[in-house]
Copies of this chain bind each other. A is one copy, B any other.
Amino acid sequence: MSKQAIATVSRERRTKVPARSPHGDAWESLTRTHAAIVQRLQETLSAADFPPLPWYEVLATVAEAPEEQMRMGDLAEALVITRGGLTKLVDRLVKAGLLERVFCATDRRVSYAALTDAGRDLLAEMRPAVIAELEVAFSANLSVAQANELRQTLDSVRGSACAG
């Protein structure tokens, strides 16, 4: 048996795993980059004695909605978390005075999460810290044009991902 053959045998175990793919590599990069930035944002918020990142995401999402309020189901979908999880997350923000529940008059099944004055104020305080950290993460390597291109690419991927 030649040296070459021996090397092949010793590597045999590793060859059972299917080969990587360009799309798989893109996904790995996406998930690692996402996790790395999330970690940085959490450290930033924690260091400034701000609430955790999910609170910011809730406040920022509700703030963008008309009337600064959103149906629970829509909010859960926007944040891509379960309905039950959102109920408890909103519970905490309500307890902290950052959101309030508003009940729909015409359909009493639905309830809204609505931004309070305190919630709006806190978001206004947090947003600059978050944006500054994102600038550090993105600006160093991405022009505004590149950032827009990235957003467009990701949006198109998500469009297909959600359509299924």
Contacts and interface: CB of A to CB of B under 8 A. Distances in A.
A59 to B, nearest CB: 9
How many identical chains are in the complex?
2
Interface of A: 13-14, 16-18, 21-40, 57, 63, 68, 78-81, 120-121, 123-124, 127-128, 130-131, 134-142, 144, 146-151, 153-162, 164
A128 B136 CA distance: 37
A148 B22 contact: yes
Given A14-B68, A157-B141, A34 B26 contact: no
A21 to B, nearest CB: 6
Contact of A34 (B30, B120, B149): B30
Nearest to A53: B31
